[in-house]
Structure 1
Amino acid sequence: MALDYFAPGVYVEEVDRGSRPIEGVSLSVAGFIGFTEDVRGDAELFQPMMITNWDQYREFFAKPGSDGFTDYDAYLPFAVQGWFLNGGGRCWVTSIGTQLPGSAAPDPEEAGTLLPTFSGRPSLKFSLKLPEDSGDAPALPSGDARIQVAIFESTPKPVDDDEEPPLNSGEFFTVVVRQGEEQLEMYEHLTMNPDVDTAVADYVVTALEESEFVAVANLSQSGQALSRRPANGAFEITPPPQISTPERFPRDLQGQRDDRTGMQGIFEIDEVAMIACPDLMRAYQNGLLDLDQVHGVMEMMVSLCENSFPGPAYRMAVLDPPPVKIGKNDNTAVPPEQQRPQHVAQWLNEFNRRSMFGAIYYPWIKVANPRNGGRPIMVPPCGHMMGIWCRTDESRGVFKAPANDTPRGVIGLAYETNMREQELLNPKGINCIRNFANYNRGFKVWGARTLVEPDNVQWRYISVRRLISYIEKSIEIGTQWVVFEPNDQDLWARITRTVSNFLERLWREGALFGASPSEAFYVKCDGELNTNETIMLGRLYVEVGVCPVRPAEFVIFRISQWAPNQ
């Protein structure tokens, strides 16, 4: 606003009087930690990578042309696929390895990248060259980018002006070895013909013996050089997998927050609002972690969800029950179908960690395993359940309990819980996945509770916890404009209108209980809260109260006979 006017005229000034609308945040972004088949492209080991669909997952965490799963049945690919099948959108994936810790190193002769011919048959196999003094470390240049081999068209070698040039049959090609944008090596005038005249071209295997970075093998056995020629294109050379030791694995899984690695690193991604580590169960089943170590990782997941300083806590951890019988077989893993409801109840008593920011689903689910001819495999349910959370958020809203819905991609359950058995689990906060075949309703998620203490009823339901987190996080982000504004009655009125408009919109969508806005929420920002002392300290207090809707978990019809008056 201008302070002085010196010349006659009309002055137009903009004055900000209205309230600024609060836009709701998204709580539908998931984070996954586990084993993958490969780590390539822009993805890095132990670093979170954003994924938006299953094809993109295969692009970053599967070998070229692969289905995305692993030969050792890692659970992460099943969880991510279940996330997308059930309506999940954007997620972040952290790979903690491409082989189980302690696995034997693969045969160097079997490693490498196949280059096909134009007809799709194998032509050449490129692998990273190993130095003579080491049998396991590739001779890589500095930098993190992968080595690539590019195939281009080429011609026969040039001849003198007075000589007749040889016929260009199309069999000749160029190999360029590069790392990122840097060209490391280039070999021109190559052919697949081992008997070629060296004055015309060079045999590719002989020429690349001089390479410092790659080794090449000829896989084609018969045919003309043109038909055996590799197709044009760029191909990434897969390095030997980094296999950690069982002793180092817990440290790699935990990671470092500053480096954004491992479990702690994915909590540095602000938009991630639900966390799962399905391969915690694979590590347990393969003896890489004992039950106490599994409990330690679960405790860390829940604690990191509870601690989101300086903002409000808004993340939730979806935990999987380890297939174990407490007190039997020294608490070692058993097949998931052998874990009965009483066993998972005993395990939760052993774990003994309660939090409104955690949730558990039982039993494990049966899905098709592409690596075993589509035969079923039992996997942890966390990925499929978080997909249902996202689907419910989009179709109904974050206030709707993610239950009484059909999990997609599920062909069976490790154990079919009945109503009496669920009466044991439900009060403990263990959400059951039930088979309602007798009612022709299929498989249903039949629980929506958090892991909070049973007597803490106000935070009992997942939908209530996530709704309050949604309100808190949306208000925190949507009122940043208030900081450093003059702390007076005008600001109090503006912020009251801003928050009230946001909550009224939620009430109209059905997220808050009440016949009118005044019954559903209140917003208080006045002189009673903001005294002279608090104003002098630079503080502005706003009190908000909401009445969230709660799921109708128990539906009771009271029926009696009625005799009308005659």
Structure 2
Amino acid sequence: MALDYFAPGVYVEEVDRGSRPIEGVSMSVAGFVGFTEDIRGDAELFKPMLITNWSQYLEYFAKPGSPHPGFTEFDAYLPFAIQGWFDNGGGRCWVVSIGTRPPGSTAPSAEETATKVLTSGKKPSLRFNLRLPDGDTAALPPSEGRLTVRISEGEPKPLPEDAPDDTEPPFNTGEYFTLEIKSGNEVVGRYPHLTMNPEAETAVADYVVTALADSEFLDIADMSVAGQPLSRRPVNGFYEVAPPPYVGQVDRVSRDLQGIRDDRAGIEGLFEIDEVAMIACPDMLRAYQEGWLDLDQIHGLMERLFTLCENSFPGPAYRMAVIDPPPVKVGKNNNQAILPEQQKPQDVAKWLSEFNRRSMFGAVYYPWIKVPNPRNGGRPIMVPPSGHMMGIWCRTDESRGVFKAPANETPRGVLGLAYETNMREQEMLNPMGINCIRNFANYNRGYKVWGARTLVEPDNVQWRYISVRRLISYIEKSIEMGTQWVVFEPNDQDLWARVTRTVTTFLTRLWREGALFGNSPNDAFFVKCDGELNTHDTMMLGRLYIEIGVCPVRPAEFVIFRISQWAPNQ
């Protein structure tokens, strides 16, 4: 606004008098931690990578040329969880890979990890390995030192300047090529006039193995079979060369999973991604089944998940962790096996009682689910349900809203259940906060998610339901993000009115969508920002207080029809 007017005329001034609308935040972005088949492109070991669809997951975490891309040889559960997430309606997610090989396994040979280049006839031509420093035999993280090799058209060497004028230049037979080594966008090595002929005259071309023998970046091997140099020539293209895969030690599995928050690594690193609102770590249980972690270590990681979800300073806590029930051990002594099929309702109830950790920001689903395993001809494998369940959360958010309980929904991609829970068994599990996945074949309804409770204490009724917890988190986070403009504004009645209008408009929209209970907005919520809350003393301290009360809708978990005989008046 202009401070003074001296010359006659028309002055146009822009004045901001309206309230700023609050845009709801997304509560449908997931975070996953576990083992992957490979780590490629921009993906890095231990670091969160944004994935938006299954094809993109394969681009970053599938091995090139794999007959079953994306799925590991040791049946890690993370790929099944990611596929279940997308199949069930999941959108964006962040994936943290903690490795591509079983911890403690033998490091792969150079031939196994090499980048292989073929001829135009699809026969072996060259093999590339990243050259490690002398004496360095440790498996390096694949994200460090990754190079790109480009093979393009080439030609024989030109004639020397002192060659006689009547000398004919070498004939280009098509066997020659140029090789470039790139680190990121920087070319760190260029080798023109190359051939696959080990007996080539150096005046005409250089044998590729000899030319790169002194390279500080690549080890190269000739895999071609007998034939003319042209038929053995590598096909043009770009080829990624990565260090050997990281093979973790068994005693580091827990640390690799948990990670370090400051390094944005592991589970802790996901909490540095603001948009992540739900987290699962299914390969915790793969590590348990393989003996890499014991049950106490599993409980420690689950406890850490809940603690991180509960602590979100300075903003409100809004993330939830979906944990999976550990399978039970069967057999004796050295013949013990850990099988999810053997986990009965009483087993999972006993486990939760022994774990003895309650949190309104946690949820658990039982039993494990049966899905196709591409690495075993499509035969079924039992996997933890967390990835599929979080996909249903996302699907429900998009189709109905975050206030709708993610239950009475069909899990997609599920062939069966590790155990078919009946009504009486669920009567034991449901009050404990264990959400069951049921088979309703008798009703011709298939498999249904038949529970919507958090892991809060059973007597804490306010936060019993997943939908209520997520709705309140949605409201809190949306208001926090949508009212940042209020900071440092003059703290007077005009500001109080603007803030009240802003929040009221947002909550009214939620009420109209069915998220809040009441016949009118006045019945569904209240917003208070006045002189009673904001006294002279509080304003002197630079504080603005707003009180908000909401009445969330709650799921009709128990539907009771009371039927009696009725005789109409005669």
**Residues 241-250 or 26-35, more deviating:** 241-250
Q: Structure 1 167/259 Cα, relative in aligned 2: closer, same or farther at 3 Å? A: same
Shift in Å at residue 328 of structure 1?
8.8
Q: Is the 8 A contact 1:326 1:347 kept in 2?
A: no
1:334 alignment partner, SS class: strand
Q: Is the 8 A contact 1:392 1:398 kept in 2?
A: yes
**Residues 5-14 or 269-278, more deviating:** 5-14
Deviations along 1:299-331, one digit per CA (max 9) or x if unpaired, are 00000000000110000000010102599979x
Q: Is the 8 A contact 2:129 2:241 kept in 1?
A: yes
Distance in 1 between residues matched to 2:365 and 2:139, nearest whole Å = 43
Distance in 2 between residues matched to 1:443 and 1:63, nearest whole Å = 33
1:75 pairs with 2:86: no
Q: Is the 8 A contact 1:131 1:137 kept in 2?
A: no
The equivalent residue for 2:42 is 42
Give the TM-score normalised by structure 2.
0.94
Deviations along 1:109-136, one digit per CA (max 9) or x if unpaired, are 3220111233444332211235554444
CA RMSD in angstroms, aligned pairs only: 2.1
Distance in 2 between residues matched to 1:223 and 1:18, nearest whole Å = 79
Matches within 5 A, 1:103-142: 103-130=105-132, 133-136=135-138
**Residues 151-160 or 382-391, more deviating:** 151-160
Distance in 2 between residues matched to 1:130 and 1:481, nearest whole Å = 53
Distance in 2 between residues matched to 1:475 and 1:373, nearest whole Å = 50
**Residues 270-279 or 553-562, more deviating:** 553-562
**Residues 105-114 or 348-357, more deviating:** 105-114
1:444 alignment partner, SS class: strand
Q: Is the 8 A contact 2:508 2:521 kept in 1?
A: yes
Deviations along 1:78-121, one digit per CA (max 9) or x if unpaired, are 11111111111111111111212211111223220111233444
The equivalent residue for 2:501 is 497
Equivalent in 375, 378, 392 of residue 379 of structure 2: 375
1:247 alignment partner, SS class: helix
The equivalent residue for 1:394 is 398
The equivalent residue for 1:29 is 29
Distance in 2 between residues matched to 1:260 and 1:307, nearest whole Å = 17
Counterpart AA for 2:73: D
Unaligned runs of 5+ in 2: none
The equivalent residue for 1:410 is 414
Distance in 1 between residues matched to 2:330 and 2:135, nearest whole Å = 50
The equivalent residue for 1:429 is 433
Shift in Å at residue 145 of structure 1?
4.3
Equivalent in 513, 534, 537 of residue 533 of structure 1: 537
Shift in Å at residue 338 of structure 1?
0.6
Q: Is the 8 A contact 1:323 1:333 kept in 2?
A: no
1:286 pairs with 2:290: yes
1:58 alignment partner, SS class: helix
Distance in 2 between residues matched to 1:55 and 1:322, nearest whole Å = 30
Q: Structure 1 516/226 Cα, relative in aligned 2: closer, same or farther at 3 Å? A: same
Equivalent in 166, 170, 189 of residue 166 of structure 1: 170
Shift in Å at residue 385 of structure 1?
0.7
Equivalent in 237, 261, 284 of residue 257 of structure 1: 261
Q: Is the 8 A contact 1:124 1:218 kept in 2?
A: yes
1:547 pairs with 2:551: yes
Distance in 2 between residues matched to 1:189 and 1:122, nearest whole Å = 21
Shift in Å at residue 510 of structure 1?
0.7
Deviations along 1:370-408, one digit per CA (max 9) or x if unpaired, are 122222111111111111111111111000111111111
1:468 alignment partner, SS class: helix
Distance in 2 between residues matched to 1:357 and 1:327, nearest whole Å = 35
Q: Is the 8 A contact 1:513 1:519 kept in 2?
A: yes
1:385 pairs with 2:389: yes
1:154 pairs with 2:154: yes
Q: Is the 8 A contact 2:145 2:243 kept in 1?
A: no
Q: Is the 8 A contact 1:42 1:60 kept in 2?
A: yes
Number of residue pairs matched? 563
Q: Is the 8 A contact 1:326 1:346 kept in 2?
A: no
Shift in Å at residue 57 of structure 1?
1.2
Distance in 2 between residues matched to 1:326 and 1:531, nearest whole Å = 66
1:495 alignment partner, SS class: helix
Equivalent in 182, 187, 194 of residue 191 of structure 2: 187
1:241 pairs with 2:234: no
1:465 alignment partner, SS class: helix
Equivalent in 62, 87, 90 of residue 85 of structure 1: 87
Give the TM-score normalised by structure 1.
0.95
The equivalent residue for 2:274 is 270
Q: Structure 1 542/368 Cα, relative in aligned 2: closer, same or farther at 3 Å? A: same
Equivalent in 335, 338, 341 of residue 334 of structure 1: 338
Deviations along 1:514-536, one digit per CA (max 9) or x if unpaired, are 11111111111111111111111
Distance in 1 between residues matched to 2:292 and 2:139, nearest whole Å = 25
Distance in 1 between residues matched to 2:268 and 2:322, nearest whole Å = 16
1:421 alignment partner, SS class: helix
Shift in Å at residue 363 of structure 1?
0.7
Distance in 2 between residues matched to 1:265 and 1:88, nearest whole Å = 21
**Residues 305-314 or 150-159, more deviating:** 150-159
Q: Is the 8 A contact 1:324 1:347 kept in 2?
A: no
Q: Is the 8 A contact 2:107 2:139 kept in 1?
A: no
Distance in 1 between residues matched to 2:113 and 2:171, nearest whole Å = 36
Q: Structure 1 327/110 Cα, relative in aligned 2: closer, same or farther at 3 Å? A: closer
Counterpart AA for 2:83: Q
Q: Structure 1 358/326 Cα, relative in aligned 2: closer, same or farther at 3 Å? A: farther
Q: Structure 1 561/235 Cα, relative in aligned 2: closer, same or farther at 3 Å? A: same
The equivalent residue for 2:480 is 476
Q: Is the 8 A contact 1:325 1:343 kept in 2?
A: no
Q: Structure 1 481/333 Cα, relative in aligned 2: closer, same or farther at 3 Å? A: farther
Distance in 2 between residues matched to 1:133 and 1:537, nearest whole Å = 63
Distance in 2 between residues matched to 1:328 and 1:513, nearest whole Å = 55
Shift in Å at residue 244 of structure 1?
2.0
Q: Is the 8 A contact 1:177 1:183 kept in 2?
A: yes
Counterpart AA for 2:412: R
Deviations along 1:383-436, one digit per CA (max 9) or x if unpaired, are 111111111111110001111111111111111111111111111001111111
2:187 alignment partner, SS class: strand
Distance in 1 between residues matched to 2:9 and 2:137, nearest whole Å = 85
Counterpart AA for 1:94: V
Shift in Å at residue 3 of structure 1?
2.2
Identical residues among aligned pairs (%):
76
The equivalent residue for 1:322 is 326
Distance in 2 between residues matched to 1:329 and 1:349, nearest whole Å = 25
Q: Is the 8 A contact 2:139 2:246 kept in 1?
A: no
Counterpart AA for 2:308: L
1:176 alignment partner, SS class: strand
Shift in Å at residue 221 of structure 1?
2.2
Q: Is the 8 A contact 2:330 2:342 kept in 1?
A: no
Q: Is the 8 A contact 2:139 2:243 kept in 1?
A: no
Counterpart AA for 1:92: W
Distance in 1 between residues matched to 2:347 and 2:332, nearest whole Å = 10
1:210 alignment partner, SS class: coil
Q: Structure 1 111/50 Cα, relative in aligned 2: closer, same or farther at 3 Å? A: same
Counterpart AA for 1:260: R
Q: Is the 8 A contact 1:189 1:202 kept in 2?
A: yes
